[in-house]
Amino acid sequence: MATRQDILDTLLTLGEEKGLANVSLSDVADEVGIRKASIYSHFESQNQMIEEAISYASRILRSRDFNVDFKAKDAHTLLVSLFDSIIRTFAEKPVSSYFSIVQQMTMFDETFSEENHQIESMISARVRIALEFCVQRSWLDIKDTDYAADLVSAAVMRRICAVLSSDEEWETDRLADGLITLFS
């Protein structure tokens, strides 16, 4: 018998692959291996199922720590540790499916736009802490860490999208080197 969790995970995976608007209850039921009517024993409606899937994946993302090597001896090592941690977190299921769905839906649905804003804020806060640490150590010369954090966070968001849309290896060294060049 399929569990509620199986249904949520399947919805997220299919939503990432096909686009959430193109996923039917029949699609989910077929993939899980149950009858469509059985979904209603777990969820009152398709909207409730979608809301719970997004909430579930969002909670997982918010529970993750983005590890930064604060014992690093230079800005490059510290920033690469942060970027790698962020990418690893977003590359894991169900967070990767959640992120892809949010990116697909952000222009069409205010709820997803708010989810995207929360993701951006989460990344920006972690980047800001790392940049402030680098400034305190005189590794980087940044006058406005808020602006720099927003700039770097936007680059990180683009890299997350690139990583999730292909098998290309994320070049953390190149991103860190570019940031150091910009603020040295």
* Structural domains in the chain, sorted by start: 4-56 (1.10.10.60), 64-182 (1.10.357)
**Residue 149: Cβ within 10 Å count:** 21
Asked if omega into 94 is within 30° of 0 (cis), the reply is: yes
Helices 172-182 & 145-165 angle (0-180, nearest 10) = 160
Q: What's the whole-model pTM score?
A: 0.84
pLDDT at 47: 93
* pLDDT higher at 110 or 180: 110
- pLDDT tens figures, 30-60: 999 999 999 999 999 999 999 999 999 999 9
Check whether 66 has a pLDDT greater than 60.
yes
Give CA separation, 142 vs 133, 176, 180, 183, in Å.
11, 14, 10, 6
Give the whole-number percent of the chain exceeding pLDDT 90: 74
- pLDDT tens figures, 110-154: 999 999 999 999 999 999 999 999 999 999 999 999 999 999 999
Q: Cβ neighbours of residue 98 under 8 Å, at least 6 residues apart?
A: 12, 54, 57, 58, 60, 61
158's tokens: 């683009």
Across the chain, mean pLDDT equals 90
Q: Cβ neighbours of residue 142 under 8 Å, at least 6 residues apart?
A: 131, 134, 135, 148, 183
Count CA atoms within 13 Å of residue 18 on its CB side: 13
d(CA 67, CA 113): 26
d(CA 34, CA 138): 59
pLDDT at 137: 96
